[in-house]
Amino acid sequence: MWTNAQIVDYAALRRCINGLWETYPFLKVTQIGRSHAGRSIFSLSLGSGKKCVLFAAGFHGSEWITELLLLRFAEELCRSIQMKTDYAGVDVVSFLQRREILIVPCVNPDGTEIFLHGAEAAGEFAPLVSRAWEDNILWNANAAGVDINHNFDAGWDLLRAAEKKNGIDAPAPRQFGGVCAESEPETRALCALCRRKKPGHILAFHSQGEEIFWRYGKKDPPEARTLMCIFTAVSGYKPVRNAGLYAHGGFKDWFIREFDRPGFTVEVGKGTNPLPLSDLDGIFEKLRRMMVLAAVL
């Protein structure tokens, strides 16, 4: 199994993706952009249909378990396709004749590297990271000290005002939204992918809380409520709304505002970040059915 890594730093991520591609040559691997420090951001693609669903993870450095979650999902889908068997009760081979599944396992590779290996992993940006990193604060941002999930163009001005009110007005380990919306290459890469592929819906994976966020402000896209009810029923997660410093600026928020289509933030697991690797099997078992339904509905 290629996705049994003990951690998923950038080297492990590359090995895992290369291993999946070599084992399953029908899996398409594309570089959709580069991080602030120059690391590749990859998407994995299965199927060739006109309809598309996007899964993305690894927005925050301390949430690297979400990357392994999506890589394991990709591997199990590939195995099911290769063996022509149902996956979680779904005939994915038939569905993928008319649908494409896009998986971006790590939106913020710099953040994961910094969290796992320290400021030096930021390369030329190490001094900035060292200055911004406060004791006992988990590093979630990219190498520029920008929180990617505060950098999307969805109420960004309102979010910046809230950040300033909370004393966040410069590069930081978390919650600094940058100098403008889409200022960061990681954000731009994901937005460009969505603008090019126009997914029917998206799921963004974070940790933790066993919750699903599904609305942005008063926007309630068609089918969003139905999908939310299905996802919460099969996963046991509870539906919630954004509030405070989490009310704007996220990928899910931007997607709903930009396309008026369903978008979901899935907060996986329970506990304190970083969630231990030992939690992964349980998280995956709870979410496997939800993810495959999200891929085909």
Active-site amino acid positions? 246, 267
Please enumerate, as own/partner, the contacts of 239-247 that have beta carbons within 8 Å and a separation of 24 or more: 239/211, 239/212, 239/213, 239/214, 240/211, 240/212, 240/213, 241/213, 241/215, 242/213, 242/215, 242/216, 244/162, 245/150, 245/159, 245/162, 245/163, 245/166, 245/175, 247/155, 247/158, 247/159, 247/162, 247/217
Establish whether the linkage from the previous residue to 97 is cis, with ω within 30° of 0.
Answer: no
Instruction: Compute the distance between CA of residue 284 and CA of residue 97 in angstroms, rounded to an integer.
Output: 25
CB distance 75 to 26 below 8 Å = no
Q: Which two tokens stand for residue 167?
A: 């004393």
CB distance 141 to 128 below 8 Å = no
Q: Which two tokens stand for residue 141?
A: 């941002």
3 state SS of 123: helix
Instruction: Compute the distance between CA of residue 135 and CA of residue 237 in angstroms, rounded to an integer.
Output: 32
